[in-house]
Amino acid sequence: MQALVGYAKKLEPVPDRFLALDRGAFTVPECQTRVDLFPEYKDGKLHFYADVNPRQSPTIAAFLSILFSAINGQPPETTLAIPEDFVRTIMDSLGLGTREVGLNAMLMRIKRHAQEAARAA
């Protein structure tokens, strides 16, 4: 759990330019925790930001921090290559399989943004 809290603290803050946007399009309703995911596609690379309270939801923040460290600054194909069982594998290994539905919803939304970026390229 201590490692999760450490990863949660590494989650990059959301830039101000996203905070003024209508959050409805960025909220992940399937997740019990309020999470807003903001994609940015620039120069052929994707970057994601998440607005989530790491103190209230350290598991979610840690998961996103780990995921973003692997895909931010990469082309959309990197995100699209994430295996379908990624969430289950990660969360089961931590003993936190109960968060799987919301985390899968976040991953699917991230992959959807990657598909849109790949089409735009």
**70-113 residue pLDDT tens:** 999 999 999 999 999 999 888 777 666 667 888 899 999 999 99
Number of other CB atoms surrounding residue 81 within 10 Å:
11
What residue ranges do the domains of the chain occupy? 2-120
What pLDDT shows up at residue 5?
A: 81
pTM of the full structure: 0.88
Q: Which two tokens stand for residue 56?
A: 């209230």
Q: Are the C-beta atoms of residues 41 and 119 closer than 8 Å to each other?
A: no
Both structure tokens of 76: 């959309």
CB 33 within 8 A of CB 57: yes
Hey, what CATH class is 2-120 in? Answer: alpha beta
According to the model, what pLDDT value does residue 57 have? 87
Residue predicted with more confidence, 114 or 98: 114
Residue 72 is predicted with a pLDDT of 98
Per-residue DSSP letter, 27: B
95: left (phi over 0), alpha (psi -120 to 50) or beta: left
pLDDT at 4: 77
Quick one: tokens of 81? 């290559």
Distance between CA atoms of residues 66 and 86, nearest Å: 12
The Cα–Cα gap between 28 and 33 comes to: 9
Q: Which residue has the higher pLDDT, 77 or 55?
A: 77
